[in-house]
Amino acid sequence: METTVRVDENCRLWVQSRGDEHAVPVLLVMGANTSGLGWPERFVDDLAERYRVIRYDHRDTGRSSRVFDEHPYAIRDLATDAVAVLDALDVERAHVVGMSMGGVLVQLLLLDHPHRLRGATLFGSAALGVQLAGGPQEGDGLPGVDPRLLTMWERIFEQRSPEEELAWRVEHWRLLNGDVLEFDPDWFRELERRIMAHSGTHRQSWAHASADPGGLDRGDELLGVTTPTLVIEAPEDPVAPPPHAEYLAKALGGAKRVEIPGMGHALSEPVLGPLVSTIRRHVEEVEAERRG
């Protein structure tokens, strides 16, 4: 099922729901500047065997409204978009899975909308308050982004032909994948072709890179989170490398931490099975606890 959710008079979000609509809902929150189709089809299908899986395009991605140039917004506004999606689909409470910036948004949901969450899973993300999550902390001792990525990000605003853009995105995924697991360029090329077809353009918006990061310096509030939360550690992540996951899990107090060996900052085919199994295990544990 596909629908369009109206956030306000300027912004509409593309939303897709897959699986039994009466099953436990799982909301997928993607990273910065990435369409909901960044969640691979196999990943969504495997989760949808048991759950009602909801994914959506952030504003300025995919088929959602491109509004930033005329109506600038803050990163924190993207978190309230997730709540708008749940409201529109009449979902009272959902398990929420956040990757990268999506993990930052899930942290905001844990703080501001805990009554809408059954549980949470985060990976590829830094804790609120640290620099990678838009915060001011410089002396936390945590490593930064791989310099190879920083060099590549210097070119993100360049104009490229469709063929050049596709090649750039595949190379970007190559770096994000890390240096351990095998990288299949054809697999990621097909993923990006689907995203481009879905978006109707090869031009990727980088609005989230320009969005206001204000209001993300809230790391000291995370200890108060009581929602059952899982942090997945990706040991080869070049964006939020170890010990970011450990730091985040400790900041969240009671959060569990599970490592997926070899995983980087990309949903490459070798990690999909372990990732689905890990998320399923967490959801089932939370639901069993809820049933008493």
Active site residue 113: no
- Between CA 228 and CA 216 the distance in angstroms is 21
43 and 29 Cβ atoms separated by less than 8 Å: no
- The one-letter amino acid code at 75 reads I
Choosing from 199, 237, 268, 282, the catalytic residue is 237
120 and 93 Cβ atoms separated by less than 8 Å: no
Chain-centre distance of CA 106, in angstroms?
A: 8
Active site residue 265: yes
Choosing from 100, 125, 205, 268, the catalytic residue is 100
CA nearest to 185, candidates 195, 198, 200, 172: 172
Active site residue 210: no
The H or E element that residue 119 is part of is strand 117-123
Choosing from 58, 208, 244, 265, the catalytic residue is 265
Distances (CA, A) of 260 to 188, 218, 250, 269: 20, 27, 18, 13
Q: Output the CA angle 44-46-47, nearest 5 degrees.
A: 65
Q: Which residues are catalytic?
A: 100, 237, 265
